[in-house]
Structure 1
Amino acid sequence: MDMKFLLILTLITAASAQKCRGTFFNNKYYNMEVLKEGLNRVKQMIYSSKENSVYFIYDQGGILYNGGAGYYNLNNHQAGFFMGIRNATSLAVDNNKNRIYIGCAEGLYAVTDGNLPERFPISEPILSLYYKDDLYFTNIRRKVYKFDLDGVKLVPEMRYDFADNIIVDDDNNLFFLKDKKVNRVKLDTGAPAFEVTEFPVNLMTMDVDGKLYVATNDGIYLYNRYKYALDKISNLKNVKALSFDKKWDPIYVVFDLLVRLKNPVECYEDNDAFFK
């Protein structure tokens, strides 16, 4: 049996129950649409609402890391990649300015109209990026900085801490992935960080409402800001990248497939039983 067909069948049956058809995600059942095949070794993905496109970092292969930055337009289904960016590592989006930031071994690039990368005045290797009013990034030493009109400044709350990946929410919380564990610190308070997860996490992402999701080997979890805890919302496994479009539909990469969950079905079951 074809491996990709077996994978898709496994995902559908694992996320379905006897009474409801479809892929279960956050209290809804969705139809699954494979958008594109052949996305090898994807490491991160973001969504641009102005372009209605997803942008992703992928490993082009070789003995040494050779990261590239690509995109897929959800309107016309065209895909492409950015030339001239060596060892791309991370992405961030400023939807107000319709600008995509790309971090790489040589520093920072920005992409606006025409998908032409433009060099920004940061020349050190960048590990991760996130845009929330200002641009936040981590360097190769895993230190967290903010880049604004006043220049580059170390985030005070992270002076003695380290991060592999970062996200800032609407409540001025900085979530950061350190050694595969999610931590949270309140910015502009001087308060210490504390650990959110005791189990390993593969990636973090946010939807258009500013809700935090994490993917693990066991499934997808949603951060509950009222309980300061994570609630499991899907059994989807092997997810390499996760984002959400402007309709709140999940888009993710599993193995080398770009998948979108769309057209949620009106169906209700015992969700506690689903996760058993």
Structure 2
Amino acid sequence: MKVILVLALLVYAEARIAIENCNGTVVHNIKHEKQVLKSNIRSPYQLAIDYNTNTLFFSYSSDDPGLTFDSAYINLKTNEFKIIKGITGGFANAVDEQGNVVYLGGQDGIYQFDYETKVATRIDGTDHNIWQLFFKKDLYYSKYPEEEVYIFKNHKSHRVPELAGTRGMLVAVDNFDNIYFSNSSGLFVHKKTKDYTYFVGDYNINGFTHDINGELFFSTPEGIYYINDKSKKVEKLTSIDNLYGVAIEADGSIIYASEDSLVRLKPTKTYCFSDEKTNL
């Protein structure tokens, strides 16, 4: 099944007039308009969408001098924004879509968000300083500053065996249970079928995400990339400067974090010639 983002772009490409030297953001040769969802927030990071409620969870640098980071959410339909209370140094976010559970990572462990109370409650099983969370069948997380990757299951944490001998700052799992991870040396993947880890590329990754179909994407400070589920090749979608993170909405629209805003990219009817190249 092709990624929903690609399908959406193909639909929008119909009946367009090709224009050279388009200004603005171009994704797969289609010009996109920017819609600012939230401004005046410092360094929004670790974006994760709950598709059941159409809610975007993220973290950002706190304005409170007594705190380092705040966890927050924005309703993508109503634009309602709230800071999540009850979490110490909230920095990481992940969603279990089938279990309807929102996980948040703090300086002292993993929290669960309650939609009714709008409060995060710490759950037993770990007191690690959580850098990143990613949910795929189970909850994965990385520990800071050790750069160790763990799996959290049945209220217990243990190192991911495949990554026990290496560092991992960010982690993601694809639809074939292959484990992608990044550190200061770049992007790597541990292939489940071969039980082998290999180097994918020298990418300075600052965020992993997935779409509603489980397809993987990542961001660097300079752009947004897609990992082809079947070929395992990396495709660059677009270049954006000072990028902090990315998320993909259910309809395939892109949301990205800049240094002070959350922005949605919506496709227009303008088809452009693009100089973007595919990175393998």
The yes-or-no answer on 1:265 pairing with 2:268 is yes
Task: Summarize the alignment of residues 1-276 of structure 1 with structure 2, pairs less than 5 Å apart.
Answer: 18=20, 23-60=25-62, 66-114=68-116, 115-121=118-124, 122-140=126-144, 141-149=146-154, 151-179=156-184, 181-187=186-192, 191-262=195-266, 264-271=267-274, 273=275
For 1:180 and 1:90, how far apart are their aligned partners in 2?
Answer: 22
Paired AA for residue 167 in structure 1: A
For 2:141 and 2:175, how far apart are their aligned partners in 1?
Answer: 17
User: Is there any run of 5+ residues in structure 2 with no aligned partner, and where?
Assistant: 1-17
For each residue in 1:51-90, what CA deviation from the matched residue of structure 2 results, as whole angstroms up to 9, or x when unmatched?
Answer: 2111111111578871110011112111011112111221
For 2:33 and 2:164, how far apart are their aligned partners in 1?
Answer: 45
Tell me the matched-pair count: 258
For 2:263 and 2:101, how far apart are their aligned partners in 1?
Answer: 24
Q: Which stretch shifts more, 68-77 or 142-151?
A: 142-151
For 2:206 and 2:28, how far apart are their aligned partners in 1?
Answer: 19
Determine helix, strand or coil for the equivalent of 1:75.
Answer: coil
TM-score normalised by structure 2 residue count: 0.82
For 2:75 and 2:34, how far apart are their aligned partners in 1?
Answer: 18
Q: Which stretch shifts more, 201-210 or 118-127?
A: 201-210
Q: Could you say which structure has the greater relative contact order, defined with CA pairs below 8 angstroms and 6 or more residues apart?
A: 2
Paired AA for residue 33 in structure 2: N
Paired AA for residue 232 in structure 1: K
Runs of 4+ in 1 over 6 A off after TM superposition: 62-65
For 2:186 and 2:66, how far apart are their aligned partners in 1?
Answer: 26
For each residue in 1:83-142, what CA deviation from the matched residue of structure 2 results, as whole angstroms up to 9, or x when unmatched?
Answer: 121112211111122221111111110113322212211222222211111111122322
Paired AA for residue 77 in structure 1: N
TM-score normalised by structure 1 residue count: 0.83
For 2:252 and 2:54, how far apart are their aligned partners in 1?
Answer: 12
Determine helix, strand or coil for the equivalent of 2:250.
Answer: coil
Equivalent residue, structure 1, for 2:6: none
Paired AA for residue 203 in structure 1: G
CA RMSD, 1 decimal: 2.6
Cα pair distance change 1:216/1:149, threshold 3 Å: closer
Cα pair distance change 1:267/1:97, threshold 3 Å: same
Determine helix, strand or coil for the equivalent of 1:193.
Answer: strand
Paired AA for residue 168 in structure 1: V
User: Is there any run of 5+ residues in structure 1 with no aligned partner, and where?
Assistant: 1-15
Cα pair distance change 1:267/1:135, threshold 3 Å: same
Determine helix, strand or coil for the equivalent of 2:42.
Answer: coil
User: Shift in Å at residue 22 of structure 1?
Assistant: 5.5
